[in-house]
Amino acid sequence: MNEKTPPRRPATFKLDDPGVVVMDTEDTGRLARGTVQIVPEAEPAQLPVPVDVPLVPVRRGFRWGALFWSSVAGLVLLGTGLGVINLIEDLFARNEGLGVLGLAFAVIAAVALLVVITREAVGLARLATIEKLHLRAAEVLVSDDRTASRVIVAELMKLAHQTPRLARARSALQSHTDDIIDGADMIRLAERELMAPLDEEARRLVSAAAQRVSVVTAVSPRAMIDVLFVFVASLRMIRQLARLYGGRPGALGMVSLMRHVIAHLAITGGMAASDSLIQQMLGHGIAAKLSQRLGEGILNGLLTARLGLAAIDVTRPLPFNALPRPALADLAKDLLRKREDDE
């Protein structure tokens, strides 16, 4: 068992008193009887800064799965191209006009495919940039590197430049950039100025998606319709959050985002937190006042809200430090309040 230090009465003394000794926390020497010991407290800047958990687990080793699917995609592309060439040759052999028309369609399809691939690559690159920006900002909050913080803020300004609602926030951040010395304070200032309006809009989007899922699943007559609607609503919500924070995901980007969101839920234990909140709500007698379908609708809405909170963590360029993280309890209150207003 640990021995507790007996409480000492308040006392006054002078700093130049020979009986007052300033010691470090590591000093373990014994002092004379009646000597007053002073241990300086750590400065706030030297205290550890809480940092979010990584967005996704770090992958190590060679990715054989990616190599397999890339090879399969290459074979499919080669087979499709060979089939198109044979088709155009057959059209030219049958009729020159049909051959020219088939060749025109092939050229248009090739150009469209090139544009789609370019957009997908740009979308994946933007998502990777936001993810790396998030991790670098978390490292700066610990290291307090001023140079790195200025680089991060400059990249954030580029992302926020395409959002008209952040025009005033950008000007305010630029006016205070030279006044900040510490790197961690620079990141916190950027978070307060740039992320505050986006976080408010993100919470509105998640709350609206949760309410929509709650209403539809409560009145839907088939379970298959519920599953399909929840899936579509979740994809739409994640896409909106990604666009809000500067990402422009395509089809492949949405697949990557869904993987990251599910991985984030697994790391943070978000589903367990959701279950405990739901059990607490149902334990207070709310379930007794609701019908079975209405209770299922609220449950689906809460799970959608938890998925939205995980998507915010994944798509947000900065970790939560200066601003409070949106809580599931607040979204649950909004969901129940909306339900009471509808009734």
pLDDT tens-digit readout, 90-130? 998 988 888 899 999 999 999 998 999 899 888 888 888 88
Question: Mean pLDDT throughout 1-22?
Answer: 60
- What DSSP string describes 153-192? HHHHHHHHTT-GGGHHHHHHHHHHGGG--SHHHHHHHHII
pLDDT given at position 49: 47
Q: Token pair for residue 52?
A: 């979010």
Counting beta carbons within 10 angstroms of the beta carbon of residue 206, is it exposed (0 to 12), middle (13 to 18) or buried (19 or more)? buried
Higher pLDDT, 52 or 70: 70
pLDDT given at position 115: 93
Q: What is the C-alpha separation between 38 and 25, in angstroms, rounded?
A: 10
Q: How far is CA 271 from the centre of its chain?
A: 16
Question: Mean pLDDT throughout 30-47?
Answer: 58
Buried b (16+ CB within 10 A) or exposed e, 301-333: bbbbbbbbbbbbbbbbbbbbbbeeebebeebbe
Question: Mean pLDDT throughout 65-83?
Answer: 89
pLDDT given at position 294: 66
pLDDT (tens digit per residue) in 314-323: 888 988 888 8
Question: Mean pLDDT throughout 260-266?
Answer: 74
Higher pLDDT, 217 or 142: 142
Residue 87 is classified by DSSP as H
Could you give the C-alpha distances from 33 to 10, 24, 30, 36, 70, in angstroms and in order? 17, 19, 9, 9, 77
Q: What is the C-alpha separation between 236 and 201, in angstroms, rounded?
A: 15
Question: What is the percent of the chain where pLDDT is above 70?
Answer: 69
pLDDT given at position 337: 64
Question: Mean pLDDT throughout 206-221?
Answer: 82
Q: HEC string of 270-339?
A: HHHHHHHHHHHHHHHHHHHHCCHHHHHHHHHHHHHHHHHHHHHHHHCCCCCCCCCCCCHHHHHHHHHHHH
Model pTM? 0.68
- Residue 230 CB neighbour total at 10 angstroms: 21
Q: Among 122, 130, 179, which residue's Cα sits nearest to residue 150?
A: 179
Cα-Cα-Cα-Cα dihedral sign, residues 100, 102, 105, 110: negative
> If you average pLDDT over every residue of the chain, what do you get?
76
